[in-house]
Amino acid sequence: MNVPPIVRHGAAWFRQWGTEKSPGTKIFSVSGPVKRPGNYEVPLGLPLSTLLEEHCGGMREDEGQGGDPGGSSVPLLPASMLGTGLDFESMAAAGTLLGSGGVIVIDEETCIVDALYNITRFYEHESCGKCTPCREGTYWMSEVFERLEAVTGASATSTSCGTWRTTSWARASARWATRRPCR
């Protein structure tokens, strides 16, 4: 029988990694335009930039413009904040969440408006529709992105898609505000 190392060695052993308030390790699933996307178990507190550069081999071609550190339902981090530690406190201080650890990297070629519109349509479709804030919030966010998409279009330049910080916060805020009442 294979006994997990944390059971075999105990909590003190596991706490040697990570930070004081976020001890241990976490598995991050990295996707997007990196050289080696995949699943990586790293100590909590490791800078996101280190995960991307050292473990994932860096970007394939273009510069990164940011990404979701904890999955599609958390606010984005711009490239200037990719040095933020992958732990609960650092992510909260940066205005986002560690979430599921599903790191979605976004490069300069990606139109943020288009990407967020796609994610919002997914959440709109997947909403069970039982709570009004989620049902209505995701619908209206989808409407907003549809209007933005009509203005910018899929071939828009990165300048016209430079609203990504604002739109990612709006996207996350709509879902974040709507998820609390859901049971």
pLDDT at 28 over 80: yes
Q: Which of 22-31, 70-79, 157-166 has the lowest mean pLDDT?
A: 157-166
Higher pLDDT, 146 or 178: 146
Both tokens of residue 28? 């991050």
Q: pLDDT digits over 96-143, tens only?
A: 999 999 999 988 888 888 888 888 888 888 888 888 888 888 888 888
d(CA 89, CA 67): 18
What pLDDT was estimated at residue 179? 40
What pLDDT was estimated at residue 54? 96
Q: pLDDT digits over 115-127, tens only?
A: 888 888 888 888 8
pLDDT at 164 over 50: no
What pLDDT was estimated at residue 145? 84
pTM exceeds 0.85:
no
d(CA 23, CA 99): 16
pLDDT at 13 over 50: yes
d(CA 123, CA 129): 11
What whole-number percentage of the chain has pLDDT above 90? Answer: 44
Higher pLDDT, 148 or 175: 148
What pLDDT was estimated at residue 20? 94
Average pLDDT over all residues of the chain: 82
pLDDT at 183 over 60: no
Reduce the secondary structure of the chain to three states and give it as a string. CCCCHHHHHCHHHHCCCECCCCECEEEEEEECCECCCEEEEEECCCEHHHHHHHHCCCECCCCEEEEECCCCCCCCEEHHHCCCECCHHHHHHCCCCCCCCEEEEEECCCCHHHHHHHHHHHHHHHCCCCCHHHHHHHHHHHHHHHHHHHHHCCCCCCCCCCCHHHHHHHHHHHHHHHHCCCC
